[in-house]
Amino acid sequence: MVSNVAVFASGGGSNFENLALKSAAAGIEIQVLIADSPDAFAVKRAEKLNIPSVIVDRSAYAGKHEFEKGIREALSEFDIEYIVLAGFMRILSAEFINDFKDRIINLHPSLLPSFKGRNGIEDAFNYGVKVTGVTVHYVDAGIDTGKIIAQAAVIIEDDDTLESLEQKIHQTEYELYPEALKKVLDRRV
């Protein structure tokens, strides 16, 4: 079974590209990339991958409500079953989340519920934990609080730097996210 998804990204988009390359294994077809800034490198990746992209520029909207209206308009052009967040650095409103209830999935670079928020990798590194990881979860109205779908641990070795940890986290994300999506979309979670 293949599910039609929209991927939302704010930055580099390496997870978006990974999902695009592994879409068959993940059981998804990416209909559109939604980026919240024209500077998001993810948009360039979409061009290269021949995936439609829409920039809904957050800075062009007065507030969250208007921004989300822009997102809804963009999505209405496509047949979307799930929204897959991949480095999307905006907090969606409860209203938006409710309208896509149980159909928004996020990737977070820590073992939730530890190190929520924007800097999950750095916060874990600075805290000095010896094990961190990656979480895939449903999005609910809280910040990084939705039901957990899958997790994978990453060991922080004594000689790891923030950069080496970032690399390990990303490699783990590239494995876990497609696998977790496949599980969810086959309704096994």
The arrangement of strands across the sheet holding 104-108 comes to 53-55, 28-35, 3-9, 82-85, 104-108, 131-138, 148-155
C-alpha separations of 120 from 21, 41, 60, 64 in Å: 25, 21, 28, 24
Active site amino acids: 108
CA dihedral 108, 54, 187, 182 (to 10 degrees): -70
User: How far is residue 96's CA from residue 106's CA, in Å, rounded to a whole number?
Assistant: 15
For position 87 contacting ligand GAR by CB under 6 A, the verdict is: yes
Give least dist CB 78 to ligand GAR, A.
Answer: 21
Residue 138: which of 95, 96, 184, 186 has the closest Cα? Answer: 184
Number of residues that bind ligand GAR (CB under 6 A): 15
Extract the annotated binding site for (6R)-10-formyltetrahydrofolate: 64, 89-92, 106
Q: Tell which positions 96-155 bind ligand GAR, by CB under 6 A.
A: 107-109, 118, 120
Q: Tell which positions 5-34 bind ligand GAR, by CB under 6 A.
A: 9, 11-16
User: How far is residue 153's CA from residue 173's CA, in Å, rounded to a whole number?
Assistant: 10
User: How far is residue 15's CA from residue 87's CA, in Å, rounded to a whole number?
Assistant: 8
Give least dist CB 76 to ligand GAR, A.
Answer: 25
For position 172 contacting ligand GAR by CB under 6 A, the verdict is: no
Give least dist CB 173 to ligand GAR, A.
Answer: 6
For position 80 contacting ligand GAR by CB under 6 A, the verdict is: no
Residue whose Cβ sits closest to ligand GAR? 87
Question: Of the two residues 1 and 96, which places its CB atom closer to ligand GAR in the complex?
Answer: 96
Positions touching ligand GAR (CB under 6 A) are 9, 11-16, 86-87, 107-109, 118, 120, 173
